[in-house]
Chains A and B, each alone.
Chain A
Amino acid sequence: KAGVTQTPRYLIKTRGQQVTLSCSPISGHRSVSWYQQTPGQGLQFLFEYFSETQRNKGNFPGRFSGRQFSNSRSEMNVSTLELGDSALYLCASRLAGDTDTQYFGPGTRLTVL
């Protein structure tokens, strides 16, 4: 089975712009979670989607949003980019259950100038 894929792998944007990141989960996985990783804050949970519904959300401002499509693919959007949004954004998928293993993608490295 193919692993979790994220596109693009690298992205450079300027302050005030918006960006959309994409995540394709492992085939059959219905849950997709997003994380932000920075040197200062470490790994922080953004949100989780399951069957096109957001069922959990971390402590991030409303500029961060996401959605999931019927094929379980997910997108994350960040509007009005700030310098502090520069980070590695990781997507993880799992089958569905509480004890199911999360499989992570390689991440999208976002740089905001």
Chain B
Amino acid sequence: AQSVTQLGSHVSVSEGALVLLRCNYSSSVPPYLFWYVQYPNQGLQLLLKYTTGATLVKGINGFEAEFKKSETSFHLTKPSAHMSDAAEYFCAVSPFSGGYQKVTFGTGTKLQVIP
């Protein structure tokens, strides 16, 4: 079984401030981890993913996340928020399943960027 917990359904930051969106996961097998972004009335876009190897993962739009196995966390960060970062962000986990995916999503965090 697997699950994802995103702490904070709404997060507000000032433009130029650090963005930190928290994600903790539970998985009985080694996980694949993902962060997606969703803009209003659109589908999801992959920001970054961790499969194996380097635990610090860099994604698009200046975002990065670090896989910490001991803390079962995969927090998303960005050094300086832009107005265009305002969106909903989803953390997701999928078991290393050797051929197929059953992705479990978190409940999402809406990021507000204040000018």
Contacts and interface: CB of A to CB of B under 8 A. Distances in A.
Interface of A: 4, 33, 35, 42-45, 48, 50, 55-56, 58, 90, 92, 98-99, 101-107
Interface of B: 32, 36, 41-46, 49, 51, 90, 92, 96-108
Given A42-B107, A45-B103, A58-B102, A98 B97 contact: yes
A50 B101 CA distance: 11
Q: Which 6 interchain pairs have the tightest Cβ spacing?
A: A104-B43, A43-B105, A104-B44, A99-B51, A42-B107, A106-B43
Nearest to B98: A98
Contacts of A55: 99-100
15 contacts: A35-B105, A42-B106, A42-B107, A43-B92, A45-B102, A56-B101, A90-B43, A98-B32, A98-B97, A98-B99, A101-B46, A102-B101, A104-B36, A104-B43, A106-B42
Instruction: Say whether chain A's binding surface is mostly helix, strand, loop, or mixed.
Output: strand
Contacts of B99: 55, 98
B104 A45 contact: yes
Nearest to A91: B43
Contacts of B90: 43
B13 to A, nearest CB: 23
A33 B43 contact: no
Contacts of A35: 105
B105 A104 contact: no
Nearest to B99: A98
